[in-house]
Chain A
Amino acid sequence: MSLIDIDQVTKVFHEPKKGDLLTLDHVSFGIEDGEFLAIVGPSGCGKSTVLRMIAGLDHPTQGEVRFQGKPIMKPMPEISMVFQNFALLPWKTARENILLALESKEISREEKQGRAQALLKKLGLEGFEDNYPHELSGGMKQRVGIARALAVLPDVLLMDEPFSALDEVTSQELRREVLRVWRDRTTHPDTFVLVSHLVPEAIFMADRVLVMSPRPGKIVAEVKIDIPRPRGSHVRSNAFFDYLDHIDRIMGGHQGPATQTKKTDLDLPFPYDPTL
C-alpha cells in the first residue's frame, strides 16, 4: 500500500452531443510518502482528471482512489491544491485569501494570522500582504496560491499545471521556489504531485515521471529520474537530455509520425514542448 493508491481507475464523461467519452482507461499507480511525482501527457489525456480525483473533486466511473487505504470520497484536509489559474478571490487581499483557507480550521485567530504571515514571508510576499490580486503580477499571484495551499499543513500538495499561466522566467523562479519548499522537510507537506504537459519541467522537478497516452488515457511509462539535486546545474547535462529523448520517444510513439520528426532545440531546454 502506498500513501495514495490509484486502483484500476476508469472515467467516462457523458457529453450531451458527443455521447460517452472514455477519458481514463484502467489507470493504476501508487504515490509514495515523501516523493515528488510528475504526470505528463498531451492535452486531453485525463491527467488533470486523475489529479482532481485525488483532490476529491471528481470520482472514478470504475475503480478506486485511496488515501492511506481509505477511499477518497470528498476533498480531505490532508490534501491541498495549487490551481492553474490561481483561483484567488479578487475581493480579498493576499493575506485574506490565505486566511480564508483556514476559516474552517479549529485553531485560534492568532495561530491563523501567524501561519499566514510566516508563509507570506516564506514565499517572498513581504510588503504585498495587503495587496489585492489585481495589484499583483502573475508570479506573485501564484505565490499566494502556493502559500494558501501550504497554510492548511497538508500531507500532499497537488499542482495542476501551476506554471502554465506564467511567462518562462517567472515559471523557472517558481519551480525553484516549490522545490525549496519540498526539500524543507521540517514542514508539511512532503509529498508533491505535479501535472504538466512540459516534459522538461517534469524532469527538472520530479523523482518519478508517469507518462500518459492521448485519450483514452493510460499510463504508458514510468521513468525514475536519477539526476542529483539541486538540479539547476544539470538542466544542460547529457543525463537530462537522455531523459528528454527517452520520454519524447515514448510520447511520440503514441502520437503518430508527424511529431516524431520534431527536432529539440538543444540550446534552450525551456520552454520545450514535445507535444507541440
Chain B
Amino acid sequence: MRRALLGLVILAVATLVAIVFWKAWAYHETHLLPYYALRTLLRLGITYIICLAFGLAIGILAATRERVGDILIPLLDILQSVPVLGFFPLALAVIIRSLHESTLGLELASMFLLFTSMEWSIVFGVIAGIKAMPASIQEMSQVFNIRGWDYLRHVLLPSIYPYVIAGSVLAWGGGWYFVIVTEFVTFGDKVYSLPGLGYYLQLASFQYGSVWMAIAGLMTIGLIVFLMNRFIWHRLDERAKEYRFLALHGFKARESEEEGFWSRQMKSVGSRLNVIRWLHLPSWLIVNLRISKANYLFVILVIAGLVSVVFYGVMRLPVSHLQAGHIALVTVYSLGRLLIAYVMALVIAISLAYLILQRPRARNFVILTADVAQSIPALAYFPILWLILTGFLSDQLSLQIASVLLMLTGMLWYLVFNTIEAVEHWPHEVDEVAGVFHIRSNQYLRHIVIPALFPALITGSILAWGGGFNATIVSEYVNIHGNAHSIPGLGSALDLASNAGNTSQLLVLLVVMSGIVLLLNHFVWRRLLTRASTYVMEEG
C-alpha cells in the first residue's frame, strides 16, 4: 500500500518534470542547463575551498592567539552582520574596472561576493570548535609533547571537524542564495552576466518571461542541493558524530536497525537540525568569550576612521545628490516592509511550533516540508513570484507584495528551524505542570510556549534580520526587458545608485544600512540574547 503510494508520487513528479522540461526545451538555453549547473557548481566549489583555507587560517589564529582574537573576533562579527549583498555593485565596479571587463574579472567579482557570504560560518565554526576543545586535551598534548604538524593533524583538525562540517553546510546554503544574483548584474548602463543557473533563472523570468523555464531552473537547483545534502553533507555529518568529545562520556546510544527511506530522510533532517544549532555560533561566541566593550569600540572606531577617509576621497568625486530626508524616508519604507515580513515569519514559526506540540503526528510532515522548502534558495523564487503576481496586479503593487514575500522567505526558515529545534528539546515536565494546573490554550501559549521558545526565537530573529536586509537589496528593484521597476526603499536606492554608477551615493547608503544593522544588533538583539540566556531550561 505504502509502496504503491510512493510509486504514484514518483510517477507524478516524473510527469511534472517531463512536462516542465518539454516546455522549457523551446528555449535554447535549456539545452545548456548541465553546463550552467557545472559552471555554478565550479564557482561555488572553488570559492568554498578558498573559504575553507582562509577560515582555517584566520579561525585558528583568532582562537589560539588571545591578542589577535580580541581584535579579530569583533571585526569578524561586524563584517558578518553587514549586508554583503549591498557591497556587490561596488566590488564589481572596482574589480571589473581594474580587469577591463574580462570574464575573469566577472568571475572574481562573483567569487568575492560568494566569499563574503560563505566565509563567516566557517570561520566561526573553526573558532567555536577550538574554544569547545576540552582543556584536558590541550594539556594532554603539552604533556606528551604533541606539537606543530602532529598537533594540527592528530588533535586540532579532528577536534574542530564537526564544527567545520556544520559551518560548511551553512556556507553552501549562503552560497546558493547569492550565486543567483551574482551571475546577472546591471551596473551603470551595462549588464554583466556569467553562465550559470542564476543567469538561466533571471533570463527565464526577466527576458523570456517563461514560467516553465523558471521552474526547470528551480528544479535543477533543488535536485543539486538535495543530492549534495544527501551524498556529501549527510555522510560527512554522520562521520562527524564519531569525532565529538561528548561521545567519550557514557556509551553511545544504540540506534535503531530500521533503515527505510523515510527514516533515512528523517535522519538527514535530524542532522540538519544539529547544524541549525551551530547557526547561533557568532552570538554565542560574543556572549561567551566576554570580549570587552573596549575592544569592540576600538574596532568600530578603526572602521569609522577608514570609512571617513574613503568618504573624504569620495566627496571630491562628481557631486552626489544626497538628501538626508530622502535617505531617512527610504529607510523607514524598508524597515516597515521588513517588520511586516518579520511579524508574518514570527506568527508562522510560533504556529508551527504550537501545531507540533499539540499534534505530535504533524511533526514529520512539518519538518520535511520545511526542509525541502528551505533548501531552495529564496532568491530563486523572486522571478517566479514576479511572473505570477504581474499576471493579476499592477506592476507597482506586485513588486510591493513580492518584496515583502521575498523578505519573508529570507527570514522565515531561521525562525522555523530554531523553533522546531526548541520543540525537539521540549522539557516535557513543563507540559505535565501545565496539565496538573489546567493551563490551556491561550494561557498555555502565553505562559509556556512563547517563553519556552524565547531563546530560540531570539537567535532565529538575529539571523532572520540578517537575511531580511540582504533580501531588501534584491527585492525592491527589478529590471525587466530593460524596464526598471522599483518601489521606494533602502534596497532600491542602493540598486539605483549602483545602476547610475554613483559611487559616492552607493557608499553613503551602504554605511547607513550597515549602521542600522549594527545598531539593531547592539541595542536590540544582544540585549534580548543576554536575557534569553536566563530563559534556557536545564535539560533533564
A interface with B by C-beta (< 8 Å): 16, 52, 55-57, 74-75, 77, 79-81, 83-92, 100-101, 103-104, 132-135, 137, 141, 148, 152
Other-chain residue from A75, A88, A141 in contact with B142 (beta carbon distance below 8 A):
A75
Closest to A154 in B: B143
Other-chain residue from B136, B140, B144, B248 in contact with A104 (beta carbon distance below 8 A):
B144
How many residue pairs link A and B with beta carbons under 8 A? The number is 78
Give the complex CA separation of A135 and B252 in angstroms.
Answer: 8
Q: A16-B290, A91-B242, A141-B248 are in contact. Are A103 and B150 (CB under 8 A)?
A: yes
Q: A134-B242, A141-B248 are in contact. Are A87 and B145 (CB under 8 A)?
A: no
**Which residues of A are found within 8 Å of B244, using beta-carbon distances?**
90
Give the complex CA separation of A96 and B133 in angstroms.
Answer: 19
Contact B158 A87 (CB under 8 A): no
A193 to chain B, nearest CB (A): 13
Give the complex CA separation of A79 and B139 in angstroms.
Answer: 13
Q: Quick check: is B387 within 8 A (CB to CB) of the other chain? A: no
Contact B242 A52 (CB under 8 A): no
Other-chain residue from A77, A88, A89 in contact with B154 (beta carbon distance below 8 A):
A89
**Which residues of B are found within 8 Å of A89, using beta-carbon distances?**
137, 154-155, 158
Q: A83-B136, A87-B137, A91-B158 are in contact. Are A57 and B143 (CB under 8 A)?
A: yes
Closest to B139 in A: A57
Interface residues of B in 447-479 (CB under 8 A from A): none
Give the complex CA separation of A101 and B144 in angstroms.
Answer: 5
B149 to chain A, nearest CB (A): 10
Closest to B243 in A: A91
Interface residues of B in 107-151 (CB under 8 A from A): 134, 136-137, 139-140, 142-147, 150
Chain B interface size band reads: 20 to 34
B interface with A by C-beta (< 8 Å): 134, 136-137, 139-140, 142-147, 150, 154-155, 158, 242-245, 247-248, 251-252, 290
Contact B139 A104 (CB under 8 A): no
New contact pairs (17) apart from A52-B139, A92-B154, A104-B144, CB-CB < 8 Å: A55-B139, A56-B142, A56-B143, A75-B142, A75-B143, A75-B144, A77-B145, A83-B136, A85-B248, A87-B136, A89-B155, A89-B158, A100-B150, A104-B146, A134-B251, A141-B248, A152-B144
Q: List 5 A-B contacts (CB under 8 A).
A: A91-B158, A100-B144, A103-B150, A132-B242, A133-B248
Give the complex CA separation of A57 and B248 in angstroms.
Answer: 23
Other-chain residue from B139, B143, B252, B290 in contact with A134 (beta carbon distance below 8 A):
B252
A9 to chain B, nearest CB (A): 19
**Which residues of A are found within 8 Å of B139, using beta-carbon distances?**
52, 55, 57, 81, 83, 87
B48 to chain A, nearest CB (A): 23
A26 to chain B, nearest CB (A): 25
**Which residues of B are found within 8 Å of A90, using beta-carbon distances?**
242-245, 247-248
Q: Closest 6 CB pairs between A and B?
A: A87-B136, A87-B140, A101-B144, A134-B247, A104-B145, A91-B158
**Which residues of A are found within 8 Å of B134, using beta-carbon distances?**
85, 87
A57 to chain B, nearest CB (A): 5
Contact A55 B143 (CB under 8 A): yes
Q: A16-B290, A84-B136 are in contact. Are A57 and B247 (CB under 8 A)?
A: no
**Which residues of A are found within 8 Å of B146, using beta-carbon distances?**
100-101, 103-104
Closest to A81 in B: B143
